[in-house]
Structure 1
Amino acid sequence: MSESAHRMIEILRILNESDNPTGSKLIADELKKKGFNLGERAVRYHMQLLDEKGYTEKMGYSGRKITELGKETLEKGLIYKQVDFIYSKYEEMIYLCDFDYVNKKGNVVVNVSHIYEKNAYDIIKKVFDSGLCISPYTKIKKIKNGYELKTICGTTIDGILLNNQIPSLLQYGGLLEIEDNIPTRFKDLISYKKTSISPLDAFIAKDMTSILKVIEEGSGVIPANFRMIPATSQKKAIDIFKKLESIGINGIIEVGKPGENVLGIPVSEDMVGIAIVGGITPLCAAQESKYDINMKAGEDFTNFNELTPISKLSNNILKAIKENPKKTTPFLLSKSWNLINNVNYDIETGKGDIIANISKINKVDVDDAIDIMEKTYKKFPEHISPHYKLIENDNNKIDIATVCSLSIDGILLKNGIMSTPKYGGLLELSESPMFLELISYNGSSIDPHKIFIYKNLTSLTNKLTDFNRILASLKEVHYVAKEETKEIISKLKENDFSIYKISKPRELIYNAKIDNYNFGIVAGSGLNTIAAIKEKNIDIEVKAVEKIMPFESMEHL
């Protein structure tokens, strides 16, 4: 569950346990006991959102109480609301940002991070000195277990544009490749819409960024955001960016031309694309160096007058882009549909081509990896696909092929049924299983399950919580095809395809919402056994949705 949703659940629990209306101070105190360092102002912000959703009700000056809808929501969780909330949260923060850059007055949107080791500060400052930030203006204070550092979030720039009558449409958060100090192309992207986890938060994980390598060698990967503005506002926006730079707010990587692709991202006609460095970039660099950093992007507001420069105002080390890449960033569904279309598995014979994930592992680790896969399958026989294949590779590597869940969409298509991949998710196997995180396949360039593996969110072999957490995907099919789909799914289960549940039309399935006139199918990810290997600290390169492969060529655990 994302941090914001977790807080809301905890607030609802506090209110549900109280017989009387409860105020924000008491809620903040109770949250602190549960490990949430949330001030009264932040609590009021969350309470306002809960009021708007009808989960809580304000009882004058006495405080708030939970509604019947809130109690019902508390039982089910908030994930299906959360996938709509992230984008809404940023829209709200853009609207509430009131910073006047001419007079340098007003509130800016800030990221709030907790640093637990003092040595991490030197690395963070090194990144600020390089200019790979939105602004050197920060606010740091000592807290119980370390330091709290507030840094300006890129959403502040969207707020400034809106205050100057320029609509800024936030599109993607992602990872941007740098070569010889020149930005080349977005390597990976996640859309701000239909995700339970903020896109840049999704990419805050070990081995996903290489910011220090960019600073020291000129090449690597950094977090960045992408938005679009109307082409008629381009000149005015550039003028604002120049003025912002003069007061220490920058981070602009590229402003495109009307209808021109920007760093691999297609831009609509009569619109202009803008790429901005991620405001959490300096903190990510410390994380790369193995320091424990708790980062929250776009978390709060702070008056600009309370911030002071952590380093001198300096130019960004990145050089101007000579030419935008002709190739666009490949989106997952575009690639997937082509593979789905080539699936020809026969449900009667149990033979034919399926889609395989291909992950790479060192040869010396293969025996241990297969042992982990076997134990994981025996532990979760109803949730894990037992099919795999080892493929010889170069450089002392072995490829491990597993069955991708998108194979099911291809098999249904072969039988005349349109099945659409909707979400990749993290599923908790409690008495009433529920999705804790969902990322839409639409608008993503990376398989969502890879994100959850990189962020160490699964628990198939390691006990992180009271319940195991596995990878699963959600698909949608039109309700008129339900009976035929059930027959096909039944035959696939006989051949050990990992399929958990078929929902009723418009029913919540494991707390995920299905569109009208559709029903949902939840299938296990072929990366579950790979996640189990990674949990055991075996070095493995995770790759998903890679190639077509004959199902009959695979072995059984």
Structure 2
Amino acid sequence: MPQETDRKMMEILRILADREEVLGAKTIAEELKKKGYDLGERAVRYHMRILDEKGFTERIGYAGRQITDKGHKELEKGLIYDQVDFIFSKFEDMIYQTTLNPSDGTGKVIVNTSSFVYDKNIMEILKSVFTKGIAVSPYVKFLDPLPEVGNEIRMDTVCGTTIDGMLLRAGIPVIPKYGGIVKVEDYVPIRFTELISYKKTSMTPLEAFTDKNMTSVLEVIDNGNGSIPANFRLIPKTARKNAVKIFNNLQKIGITGLLKMGDEGESVLGIPIDDNMVGIAVIGGIAPLCAAKEAGFDVNIKLAENTIEFGKMQSLVNPKPIIKTTGPGIPEKVKFLLSKAWNLIYQVDFDIETHQGNVITNISYVKTNELDLAIDIFEDVMKTGPQYCTSKYFKIIPGKEPNKTGIATVCSLTLDGILVKNGVSTTPQYGGILETDSKQPRFIELTAYSGSSLDPHEIYIAKDMTSVSEAIKDGGRVLASLREIPYIARPAAVDVLEEVQDAGFSILKIGKPSELVYNAKVERYHVGIVAPGGLNPIAALKEHGMDVEPKAVETMTNVSEMEEF
């Protein structure tokens, strides 16, 4: 179906999912009009029949349609090119709907909705985190009556994006920039160690850091040292005085979480700030739920899911914050992935004729006593599914710890270095998850390299989002990357990449000018090139239950020092 028709049907699914009720064509047409789609009831019915046929919706008598479980799944992973824009627009929508009055506590706030099996221990952990002030607010709302132990419960907590809504309502232009992880030492926030931009990602930034191994909120509570989720925004310098007043008022009604508000042009927790702007860092509203996950509890977290009346929420505790105010800006800045990548790309000198030279490598670590098993799995992936491996080269290296051994694999950014050295301009755009079990492979997750401090593939592995072992047999989910080249350079790139494949590298697809590539959109007058991720064999190890520590875009290695399957 044409792109525009696909987008209209995805919007219909979103409307049904957001409203969670049976809707008729008239209501859907009205909601579509708000989103910029001028469809009449007749046209809506036409699209709904198609959605019914696909099993994404079902008709409920004469009342209308409702979304099915299959429709929810399609909404999560379909039209990825639309989803990477939708995430940021969703935040903008939530910010606009925030109506909280900081003076009296009336109005709506943005909430994260989480679900978990009710247990006294998990409630004690949540209360402990709220008590220590490692949250935006101690106010919550239980969406179900408190059940017996062992039954599931849903709970709303105040999202940090509420702060952006408050700033906007005060007439302050606010720019949400990043979600990330802040390192804390002796109860003092030191700097962001990881960041992902709110723009050009199909995954909410803080969602990327909800894995239990990415935060250490419980350690911050115990000894003042650890990592907590946080988000970051910018405001104009002229609005700083008013912003301070807003935070003071919010604190009086039970909303806080401020880590630092910088002065004009001052670096904030390692993030450089332009002149005439002010940076603000706030604790992530999901921090208490992250603590529960660290303790081993299974918690499903949906960020910025809805807006509710603040007056309907209740405070679990009387917080006594332990996080101290930060001092002057630190000299160490956050290191963004692309800055490091470009410097390594420049050093690639692999010769496509002699098959010699330096390539970019990932270095991942496994337990030394599991190395033999790792190599067996590694070999199976390399030989059974070579199309999903960046190249046939690998290297075993000593680990930094006695009980760890490293495995070096070729990073797909090596291809960008080869293209550049052969006169083809290229720009790495996304790391993603490619679903291979459909008739037409498609990206179901994408995160832009720009604005990220770590390779998206590391996140996907940490969150167990791959199924490489299945992909090499029937169909599954593999790591892949997308880069763009000018459309005029496509013939030259095809020639280079044909020789690259002869040298033992894999290319999944070279698109046509301005064509969707596996459902991912490229800029006009450009061509997309998709390559498998160099960490796919490593992801397979994790799928087999092995303890792995993936590190992407690490260093340069000469292929003459590497082995090959």
TM-score (norm 1): 0.89
Cα 1:290–1:57, aligned 2, differ >3 Å: closer, same or farther?
farther
Q: CA deviation at 1:121?
A: 1.6
The alignment yields a C-alpha RMSD, in angstroms, of: 3.1
SS at match of 1:150: strand
Counterpart residue type for residue 295 of structure 2: S
CA distance in 1 between partners of 2:488 and 2:375 (Å): 41
Corresponding position of 1:131: 133
User: Secondary structure at the residue paired with 1:350?
Assistant: coil
Amino acid at match of 1:362: K
Query: Which of 21, 29, 47 is 1:66 aligned to?
Result: 47
Secondary structure of 2:557's aligned partner: strand
Q: Is the 8 A contact 1:358 1:544 kept in 2?
A: yes
CA–CA distance in 2 between the matches of 1:121 and 1:104? Answer: 25
Given that residues 267 and 329 in structure 2 are in contact (C-alpha distance below 8 angstroms), is that contact kept between their aligned partners in structure 1?
Answer: yes
Q: Relative to structure 1, is the Cα distance of residues 346 and 362 closer, same or farther in structure 2, using a 3 angstrom cutoff?
A: same
Amino acid at match of 1:112: T
d(CA) in 2 for partners of 1:134, 1:465:
46
Q: 1:330 to 1:358 in 2, by over 3 A?
A: same
Task: Between 382-391 and 207-216, report the one with greater CA deviation.
Answer: 382-391
2:362 is equivalent to residue 357 of structure 1:
yes
Instruction: Give, in whole Å, the separation in 1 of the partners of 2:26 and 2:331.
Output: 47
* Alpha-carbon separation, structure 2, partners of 1:126 and 1:331: 34
On the 8 A contact 1:51/1:58 being kept in 2, the answer is no
What does 1:99-498 correspond to in 2, within 5 Å? 99-118=100-119, 119-142=121-144, 145-312=151-318, 314-384=319-389, 385-394=391-400, 395-429=402-436, 430-461=438-469, 467-498=475-506
Aligned residue for 2:92?
A: 91
The Cα shift of 1:476 comes to 0.3
Alignment check: 8 A CA contact 1:132 1:316 kept: yes
Q: Aligned partner of 1:322: which letter?
A: G
The aligned amino acid for 1:128 is F
Pairwise CA distance, 1:103 = 2.3
Instruction: Tell me by how many angstroms 1:392 deviates.
Output: 1.8
CA shift digits 1:310-361 (9 cap, x unpaired): 111x342111212321121000000000000011110110000000001112
Distance 1:318 1:49, change over 3 A: farther
CA apart distance, 1:13? 7.0
The one-letter code of the counterpart of 1:383 is: Y
- Matched-pair contact (CA < 8 Å) for 1:426–1:436: yes
Partner AA of 1:109 in structure 2: I
Report the AA paired with residue 321 of structure 1.
T
Q: Distance in 1 between matches of 2:547 and 2:454?
A: 20
CA distance in 2, matches of 1:122, 1:152: 18
State the distance in 1 between where 2:169 and 2:473 align. Answer: 44
Deviation at 1:203, TM superposition (A): 1.0
Mapped to 2, the partners of 1:418 and 1:228 lie a distance apart of 33
Q: Tell me the amino acid that sits aligned with residue 114 of structure 1.
A: S
CA distance in 1, matches of 2:564, 2:287: 44
Supply the distance in 2 between the matched residues of 1:47 and 1:435 (Cα, whole angstroms): 29
State whether residues 55 and 69 of structure 1, in contact with CA within 8 Å, keep that contact through their aligned partners in structure 2.
no
3-state DSSP of counterpart to 1:499: coil
CA distance in 2, matches of 1:159, 1:44: 31
Letter of the structure 1 residue corresponding to residue 416 of structure 2: D
Whole-angstrom CA distance in 1 between matches of 2:28 and 2:483 = 31
> Offset of 1:39 from its aligned partner?
5.9
Task: Check 1:545–1:246 CA distance in 2 against 1; reply closer, same or farther (3 A cut).
Answer: same
Indicate the SS of the match to 1:237.
helix
Q: Following the alignment from structure 2 to structure 1, what is the Cα–Cα distance between the partners of residues 443 and 372?
A: 32
* Residue in structure 1 matched with residue 523 of structure 2 by the alignment: 515
Instruction: Note if contact 1:56-1:64 (Cα within 8 Å) is conserved in structure 2.
Output: no
Q: Could you say what secondary structure the match of 1:66 adopts?
A: helix
CA contact (8 A) 1:134 1:152 kept: yes
Q: 1:249 to 1:427 in 2, by over 3 A?
A: same
Distance 1:465 1:240 in 2: 57
- Residue 51 to residue 471, structure 1, CA distance change in 2 (3 Å): farther
SS in structure 2 opposite 1:490? helix
AA at the equivalent of 2:128: K
Stretch deviating more after TM superposition (44-53 or 233-242) = 44-53
Match of 1:78? 79
Distance 2:208 2:27 in 1: 23
The offset of 1:217, in angstroms, is 1.3
Conserved 8 A contact 1:57-1:66: no
Q: Greater shift after overlay, 124-133 or 379-388?
A: 379-388
Q: CA deviation at 1:44?
A: 12
Change (3 A) 1:422 1:47: farther
- How many residue pairs are counted as aligned between the two chains? 531
The structure-2 alpha-carbon separation of the partners of 1:58 and 1:116, relative to structure 1 and needing over 3 Å to count, comes to farther
Aligned partners of 1:55 and 1:68 also within 8 Å:
no
Q: Give the partner amino acid of 1:275.
A: A
Runs of at least 4 residues of structure 1 off by over 4 A? 7-14, 36-41, 43-58, 62-65, 67-76, 462-466
2:545 and 2:8 mapped to 1: Cα distance? 33
Tell me, in whole angstroms, the C-alpha distance in 2 between the residues paired with 1:439 and 1:529. Answer: 20
- 1 CA distance for matches of 2:113 and 2:294? 18
Instruction: Report what 1:21 is aligned to.
Output: none
- 1:465: how far off? 13
How far off its partner does 1:52 sit? 5.2
> What is the TM-score with the length of structure 2 in the denominator?
0.88
For residues 115 and 47 of structure 1, do their structure 2 counterparts lie closer, same or farther at Cα, with a shift above 3 Å needed?
farther
Report if the CA contact (8 A) 1:117-1:291 is conserved: no
Give the percent of matched residue pairs that are identical in Structure 1 and Structure 2.
Answer: 45
Q: Mapping of 1:491-506 within 5 angstroms? A: 491-506=499-514
Hey, what does 2:66 align to over in structure 1?
A: none
Q: CA deviation at 1:377?
A: 2.1
Per-residue deviation, 1:415:
1.1
Q: In 2, are the aligned partners of 1:479 and 1:517 still within 8 Å (CA)?
A: yes
Shift in Å, 1:460 = 1.3
Unmatched 5+ residue regions in structure 1? 1-6, 15-23, 29-35
Deviation for aligned residue 1:283: 0.6
Q: Which digits, 9 at most, give the CA deviation of each residue in 1:193-227, with x for residues without a partner?
A: 01111000111113011100110011111100000
Kindly report which structure 2 residues correspond to 1:33-72, keeping only aligned pairs within 5 A, or say none: 38=20, 57=39, 59=41, 66=47
Which consecutive unaligned segments of at least 5 residues does structure 2 have? 1-6, 57-73
Q: Is the contact made by 1:127 and 1:215 (CA closer than 8 Å) also made in structure 2?
A: yes
> 1:553: which partner in 2?
561
- Asked if the contact 2:208–2:459 (Cα under 8 Å) also holds between the matched residues in 1, the reply is yes
**Distance of 2:115 and 2:486 partners within structure 1:** 46
